[in-house]
């Protein structure tokens, strides 16, 4: 599926979820042939293109749901019962990354399909106008983040469905407590505070006194970033991006294992 076809279908990468399915191999009698493509919605509905008849739709729908929930591509092989038996597998088995499904149609052909999900770019909201905040806003787009600077004391816009949200508080003395209250009030995948452990401990006491759940406070990563011995604003921003990448990848791995 070309970028033009995606745009014509009303979907834009980074804003909407979609998946592209491609038939990579067929054997026996099949309606669709290798190279056939389709653009899929999150529920497996085909928006554009064609992959064959009803024999493959159930398997495509299930694989698309897995692709969206895990963020990982899916490879499915839809085969007749006797061919599955010859391979020593059953419908529903996953062997070496291939998910097997049964083709119950009279044609008894085999279709191998690769499904690649395109998930919305995760949001990275940065509180503050400090040098670290400025460097983070500058560098983050290069690593696949939809970054935006936000005010320390203004409630966040509602979270977009299916879009991960990560927050970094880099106020560094200019509205730290207000920014933490806003961040802790939101449902996020990651919340980090740029500052020393001692400073965050002092702020934590004030947050608890304000009635905020201590468990949520404990989940804040403070100080933000991996320990790489960072000193300059650029180095601190780099250490935070490294941690953000680690957390994002860990979240995808957990989703894949649970999927």
pLDDT score for 145: 94
pLDDT score for 16: 63
CA dihedral 209, 215, 216, 220 (to 10 degrees): 100
Answering whether pTM is above 0.85, one says no
pLDDT score for 239: 97
Q: Per-residue pLDDT for the chain (259 aa), expressed as one digit of tens each? A: 454 455 455 555 444 678 999 999 999 888 889 999 999 988 888 889 989 888 888 999 999 988 887 778 999 999 999 889 988 999 999 999 999 999 888 878 899 999 998 878 899 999 999 999 999 999 999 998 999 999 988 889 888 767 889 999 999 999 999 999 999 999 899 999 999 999 999 999 999 999 999 999 999 999 999 999 999 999 999 999 999 999 988 877 776 566 5
What are the chain's domains?
Answer: 3-118 (no CATH), 123-249 (3.40.50.720)
pLDDT score for 5: 54
Burial class (CB in 10 A: 0-12, 13-18, 19+), 5: middle
pLDDT score for 13: 45
pLDDT score for 9: 52
């Amino acid at each position: 599926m070309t970028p033009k076809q995606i745009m014509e279908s009303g979907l834009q990468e980074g804003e909407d979820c979609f998946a592209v399915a491609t038939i990579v191999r067929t054997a026996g009698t099949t309606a669709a042939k290798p190279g056939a493509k389709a653009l899929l919605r999150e529920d497996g509905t085909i928006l554009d293109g064609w992959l064959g008849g009803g024999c493959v739709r159930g398997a495509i729908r299930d694989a698309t749901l897995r692709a969206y929930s895990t963020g990982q591509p899916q490879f499915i092989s839809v085969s007749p019962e006797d061919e599955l038996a010859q391979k020593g597998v059953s419908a529903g088995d996953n062997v070496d990354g291939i998910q097997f499904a049964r083709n119950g149609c009279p044609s008894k052909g085999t279709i191998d399909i690769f499904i690649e999900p395109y998930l919305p770019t995760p949001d990275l909201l940065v509180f503050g106008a400090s040098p670290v905040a400025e460097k983070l806003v500058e560098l983050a787009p290069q690593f696949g983040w939809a970054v935006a600077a936000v005010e320390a004391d203004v409630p966040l816009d509602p979270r977009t469905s299916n879009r991960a949200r990560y927050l970094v508080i880099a106020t560094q003395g200019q509205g730290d407590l207000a920014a933490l209250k806003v961040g802790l009030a939101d449902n996020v995948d990651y919340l980090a505070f740029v500052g020393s452990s001692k400073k965050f401990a002092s702020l934590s006491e004030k947050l608890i006194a304000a009635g905020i759940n201590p468990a949520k406070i404990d989940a804040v990563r403070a100080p933000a970033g991996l320990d790489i011995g960072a000193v300059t604003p650029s180095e601190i921003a780099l250490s935070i991006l490294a941690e953000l990448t680690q957390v994002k990848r860990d979240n995808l791995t957990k989703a894949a294992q649970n999927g």
